[in-house]
Structure 1
Amino acid sequence: MDAEKYFLLQDQSVPTNRGFYTSDKRTTAPQVKFKRTQKFEPKILVWIAISEKGISKPFFSKQKQAVSQTTYLNQCIIQRLMPFVTSYHNKEKVLFWPDLASSHYGNNVLQYLDQNDVQFVDKKFNPQNCPQARPIETLWSILKNMVYDEGWEAKTINQLRRRIAKKLKEIDIKVAQQMFSGIRRQLRKIADNGPYEACSS
């Protein structure tokens, strides 16, 4: 299973980052009261694959647009997913569940997976907006809280990248194993009753 997510230098969605409290606003520093925000804030895209065996080597991209099919194939599938699969799994027993990003189902990507005997979830059986069926979405939430813990903010994209890489290594393998404990049951629901059945549980 794989997915990609954008991270900002700071994240206002984390509860500890949402506000500033003071008993006397006259003593509040100007940079707090009049904090500027950018229209297009710097961000970095992170791609990972996970299984019950752990987390793959991440791919980072500073580009502002979505990852292209060529980049996804070369950087994510060939250089990261395949070594992860061959190192920890019997390839013949693997069912790869891609994210629904358009590049993940590009013709060149699917052709490569077929040529290398990697089974994957067909796009028509891949449900949209259904985090209950994709434990990697829970992992993103855990990682985000770890990265921005106690109001942490990055000064640069490179600093943010190092922080994310460090926190990924700190995630306990047991977390991934627990996430996948019910994945076969969810997949069976989808196969038997349609792609959105898992979202109802």
Structure 2
Amino acid sequence: MSRVCAWILLLVFRLRVVPRGCVLKFRSHGRRRVDFSLEVGRRCPCEAVRRSSGRPEGVASISVGVRRFSRRGTSCNFLSFGKMGQKKDLTGSEKSKIVRYLAEGSSTLKIAKLLKRDHRTIKRFIQNSQQGRKKRVEKPRRKITAHELRKVKRAAATMPLATSLAIFQSCNITGVPKSTRCAILRDMAKVRKAERRPPLNKTHKLKRQDWANKYLKTDFSKVLWTDEMRVSLDGPDGWARGWIGKGQRAPVRLRRQQGGGGVLVWAGIIKDELVGPFRVEDGVKLNSQSYCQFLEDTFFKQWYRKKSASFKKNMIFMQDNAPSHASKYSTAWLARKGIKEGNLMTWPPCSPDLNPIENLWSIIKCEIYKEGKQYTSLNSVWEAVVAAARNVDGEQIKTLTESMDGRLLSVLAKKGGYIGHGFLFVLFLNVRNVYL
């Protein structure tokens, strides 16, 4: 009951009226604190009191005491409202008195009563006599205005690769520290790496559209997608990042010329099957003659000769427009091997995003260079490539080869524009029937 009365008293201060049957008593402790007590009961006289304001001017805090009289006794409840004022620190004389009272064997509560101080202040001084009251930390003021914030947002959109200093200088905003600039930009943007892609002019885009229209009705489950990949001992520097605990040193990463050397790998995918990977001998530069000899020793001997005549007749061989691939010597040599013009896919220029095996290379590189791993020899990195290729199952390869229908439709929708490496398309069974 006393708690309910106390909350009623808080409303009384808002309304500045004390109801009948209650007595409001006032006790002042200077300009720092004012106490009010409300007595509720049958024996209390009826009195109405009006106040001009809920709290006297200059008073830092108000404490409210509610007393309830009953046959069982008296119950009290105290609440406080208003802005609590911060008392002064203990003076030198008060500190010396505390030390003297402690030497006499007085308790903290008794010392607090003698000094008219809060007992928590006395305990805090006893626990750490050198440390005073913690100063209140004020919130820093806003470094830029709302109008300047909108200018920064527009500048960041038009200058995505500029530094924070350049963005703020373009908005004529000076005097803002780097930490604040970065914090403001992090709220509106995200640090990302620029995409790398080959240049596409109008001629390239037209050839990409013609290629998509030409092979739109093709059964891509019969296409062998081939390409080369070079892997180095060190791998990409950007992948050597991670969470390093405070106080711990960052792990050492070796820096070697040209990544410590590397291995050239050739592979192909068809339907849900991986062909290879095959390793190009160290020190061999792939020209037309060496490329054809490499295919003869690896691809034709280990895989192509084992296939049936009907499979060879229907298979379409895909390779990009590298000089060693598209030369007259290589084209004539493949024709003698049975891969003639009808079974050799033409390829548009600057189009690695249309080759699904590029996504396979990404999967393998993520596996062999995970956790920033580096290698000490060419044989070790080659063994890692073979192990990663064995972990790629047929469903992953099938997803890549079946994405070609979506890639072609995307090229046509973008009028020959770039569609990106990381875009894996979802194949619907009747997606081509809509456009045929």
2:236 aligned partner? 12
Over the residues paired in the alignment, what is the CA RMSD in angstroms?
3.0
2: CA distance, partners of 1:59 / 1:180: 20
1:24 aligned partner? 247
Tell me: CA distance 1:168–1:115, structure 2 relative to 1, closer, same or farther (3 Å). Answer: same
- Of the candidates 331, 349, 359, which is equivalent to residue 127 of structure 1? 349
2:380 aligned partner? 159
Deviates more, 1:63-72 or 1:37-46: 63-72
Q: Does residue 39 in structure 1 map to residue 263 in structure 2? A: no
Which has the higher relative contact order, 1 or 2, with Cα contacts under 8 A spaced 6 or more apart?
Answer: 1
- Report SS of the residue matched to 1:179: helix
The Cα of 1:21 is off from its aligned counterpart by 2.6
2:226 aligned partner? 2
Superposed, 1:46-61 pairs within 5 Å as 46-61=265-280
Deviations 1:134-162 (A, max 9, x none): 10010000010111123322111111111
Query: Which amino acid letter does the alignment assign opposite residue 348 of structure 2?
Result: N
Query: Which amino acid letter does the alignment assign opposite residue 271 of structure 2?
Result: E
2: CA distance, partners of 1:95 / 1:185: 19
- Of the candidates 162, 171, 193, which is equivalent to residue 392 of structure 2? 171
Q: Does residue 139 in structure 1 map to residue 377 in structure 2? A: no
Query: Which amino acid letter does the alignment assign opposite residue 69 of structure 1?
Result: S
Tell me: CA distance 1:53–1:79, structure 2 relative to 1, closer, same or farther (3 Å). Answer: farther
Would you tell me which structure has more helix in proportion to its own residues?
A: 1
Deviations 1:44-71 (A, max 9, x none): 1111111114111222236467522222
Query: Which amino acid letter does the alignment assign opposite residue 298 of structure 2?
Result: R
Superposed, 1:93-104 pairs within 5 Å as 93-104=314-325
Query: Which amino acid letter does the alignment assign opposite residue 23 of structure 1?
Result: K
Tell me: CA distance 1:102–1:40, structure 2 relative to 1, closer, same or farther (3 Å). Answer: same
Deviates more, 1:171-180 or 1:78-87: 78-87
Q: Which runs of 5+ in 2 are unaligned?
A: 1-224, 421-436
Deviates more, 1:178-187 or 1:105-114: 178-187
Tell me: CA distance 1:135–1:74, structure 2 relative to 1, closer, same or farther (3 Å). Answer: same
Q: Whose Rg is larger?
A: 2
Q: Which runs of 5+ in 1 are unaligned?
A: none
2: CA distance, partners of 1:187 / 1:92: 24
2: CA distance, partners of 1:184 / 1:43: 34
2: CA distance, partners of 1:20 / 1:37: 21
Identical-pair percentage? 19
The Cα of 1:22 is off from its aligned counterpart by 4.0
2:292 aligned partner? 73
Q: Does residue 149 in structure 1 map to residue 373 in structure 2? A: no
Aligned length: 187
